[in-house]
């Protein structure tokens, strides 16, 4: 019986989120080609077809667009870096030209630790020396498509609490918080609402 078969040849290994398994998996980008086959035996190569990603566990193949979905480890790294930049920007805006505030620094460290990351005062001091405020927005922006509205609200609220540890939020800190909300893709009314709630909570403590 004459028919058409498609052969697959691994091109390069990849880590991706397998839609079939529902978790991060190792796999490979596979090149595919049509063959004219007699029975099950390919005898004449035909044109190549679109490459796919194949899971090493279940064998499922899917389009290359799946590689645009961050794996859990990649997403964790993105969140870790973005949170560090945001915390540093809030702390720096609160300090201005003044000295460090121990209470603020302790809370900044606790925000990172409560998020599940290893972090201490030495890490904070190092970030304050090496991270610049211009890097905050580019590192936060990828999270706009990954965090839910509740997740974005929670992150902004945590940063507002940090800004208000030593008193009312300063203008420079509020500007940082607004930039965080915009980078996360939040609507202006949502951003202002989160900050207003935070202000009320600050006044009542």
- Which of 115, 170, 104, 174 minimizes the C-alpha distance to 143? 115
- Indicate the average pLDDT of the chain: 91
- The rounded distance, in Å, linking the Cα atoms of 116 and 123 is 15
- The rounded distance, in Å, linking the Cα atoms of 198 and 160 is 6
For residue 3, pLDDT beyond 80: no
- SS3 state at 126: helix
For residue 49, pLDDT beyond 90: no
Average pLDDT value for residue range 1-27 = 87
- The rounded distance, in Å, linking the Cα atoms of 16 and 68 is 9
105-144 residue pLDDT tens: 999 999 999 999 999 999 999 999 999 999 999 999 999 9
pLDDT of residue 96: 78
pTM of the model: 0.79
pLDDT of residue 178: 97
Per the listing, tokens 């279940």 go with 58
- Sign, CA dihedral 56-58-63-65, equals negative
pLDDT of residue 48: 78
- Give ranges for CATH 1.10.3680 in the chain: 72-204
pLDDT of residue 205: 62
Average pLDDT value for residue range 45-62 = 89
For residue 45, pLDDT beyond 80: no
The CATH number for 72-204, chosen from 1.10.3680, 1.10.3470, 2.30.30, 1.20.120, is 1.10.3680
pLDDT of residue 36: 80
Average pLDDT value for residue range 84-107 = 90
Phi then psi for 57, rounded to 5 degrees?
Answer: -95, -55
For residue 156, pLDDT beyond 70: yes
Give how far Cα 178 sits from Cα of 7, 128, 148, 171, 185, Å.
Answer: 53, 20, 18, 11, 11
Strand partners, 12: 29
């Amino acid at each position: 019986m004459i028919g058409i078969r498609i052969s697959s040849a691994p091109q390069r290994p990849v880590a991706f989120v397998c839609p079939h398994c529902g978790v991060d998996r190792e796999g490979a980008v596979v090149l595919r080609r049509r063959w004219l086959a007699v029975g099950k035996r390919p005898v004449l190569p035909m044109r190549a077809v679109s490459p796919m990603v194949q899971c090493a566990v279940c064998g499922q193949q899917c389009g290359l667009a799946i590689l645009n979905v961050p794996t859990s480890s990649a997403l964790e790294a993105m969140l870790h870096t973005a949170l560090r930049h945001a915390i540093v920007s809030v702390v720096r805006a609160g300090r201005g030209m003044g000295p460090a505030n121990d209470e603020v620094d302790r809370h900044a460290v606790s925000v990172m630790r409560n998020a599940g990351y290893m972090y201490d005062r030495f890490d904070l001091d190092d970030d304050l020396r090496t991270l610049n405020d211009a890097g905050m927005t580019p590192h936060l922006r990828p999270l706009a498509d990954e965090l839910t509205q509740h997740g974005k609200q929670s992150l902004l609220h945590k940063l507002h609490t940090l800004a208000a540890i030593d008193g009312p939020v300063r203008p420079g800190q509020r500007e940082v918080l607004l930039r965080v909300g915009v980078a996360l893709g939040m609507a202006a009314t949502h951003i202002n609402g989160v900050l207003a709630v935070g202000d009320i909570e600050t006044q009542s403590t």
